[in-house]
Structure 1
Amino acid sequence: MKGIVFYGSLGKFTWRMLATVLGGQGVVVFLGALVARGVGLAQGDDNAHAWLWVGIGLAVLCFLAAGAMRRPWGVTLGWLIQVVTFVSAVVVPAMLGVGLIFTVLWVGSLVLCHRVERQVAERDRVAGADSTAR
């Protein structure tokens, strides 16, 4: 698919949309961490508090990655977060759905925003050619 990148600079519109996806994902991952702790405590899991801190760490990583989208490695970090969100389904199975939803948003943003930026560049190129012809 054209527009899917794993490393490199992104257009302004693309990195803003990806940062928005990661921000929303961070909030949902934090709520998932609270669920992991609650379920762990209810089941007498000794790791309940650890699951909370791991989930908080992933949520913070989502917010840091949102801020790093301007960097070439930011998109790589975003992909890593998508994978780790799926892995968190081992602790909270509902995170499988969360991972699916946010990965679809992630890929959709990459593809559609790349297309929009390409169309805007073409429109600007045509407009520039029209202004020099006059």
Structure 2
Amino acid sequence: MRTLCASTLIGEFFVIGFAGLVAMKDPDLTQATVWTVCGVAMFLSVVLCGMITRPGGVQLGWALQIALIASGFVVPVMFFLGAVFAGLWWCSVHYGRKIDDAKARWAAAQEAAEAASAAPGSA
């Protein structure tokens, strides 16, 4: 799960940065406001890459997805991109957990096979 989620978050890092460049064209927003908000979101996306497997990591990821969609009120195309990344986030979490379960089952089967072959009298 960690690899899939981290890949999604790194993609979001770049999208947030590009959205910040687009938001700079809004005359109602200052540079400081745009880059403070984008900087916090970009920092959070990178930090979350290492927090995915910790308690609350996935929930923080969902909060970032909601914020990304809500950023569409400033940069309208972010409604679409935020929804795409929310879908990618769901897939990363859902299928990542399935992959982790399959890896755990495979590792347990390997251990059982090694234990059976190493048992005395199994020659």
TM-score (norm 1): 0.76
Residue 49 of structure 2 is aligned to residue 66 of structure 1: yes
Aligned residue number for residue 121 of structure 2: none
Q: Does 1:25 align with 2:12?
A: yes
Paired AA for residue 97 in structure 2: H
For residue 41 of structure 2, give the secondary structure of its aligned residue in structure 1: helix
Q: Which structure carries more relative contact order (alpha carbon 8 Å, separation 6+)?
A: 1
The range that moved more, 61-70 or 88-97, is: 61-70
State the match for 1:120 in structure 2: 103
Give SS of 2:54's match: coil
Aligned runs of 1:84-95 on 2, under 5 Å?
A: 84-95=67-78
RMSD: 1.7
Output the CA distance in 1 between the equivalents of 2:56 and 2:111. Answer: 32
- 1:80 Cα offset (Å): 0.7
Paired residues for 1:46-85 under 5 Å:
47-49=29-31, 50-85=33-68
Bigger CA radius of gyration: 2
Q: How many residues align?
A: 116
- Residue 94 of structure 1: how far off its partner (Å): 0.3
Distance change (3 Å), C-alpha of 1:18 and 1:133: same
Q: TM-score, normalised by structure 2?
A: 0.82
Deviates more, 1:55-64 or 1:72-81: 55-64
Q: Matched residues, percent identical?
A: 28
Cα distance in 1, alignment partners of residues 50 and 109 from structure 2: 33
Supply the distance in 2 between the matched residues of 1:55 and 1:69 (Cα, whole angstroms). 21
What 5-or-longer segments of structure 1 have no aligned partner?
1-13
Following superposition, which runs of at least 4 residues in structure 1 exceed 3 angstroms of deviation? none
1:98 paired with 2:85, answer no
Deviations 1:17-63 (A, max 9, x none): 2122111101111110110111x13xxx2x24323432232222212
What is the alpha-carbon distance in structure 2 between the residues aligned to residue 54 and residue 16 of structure 1?
A: 26
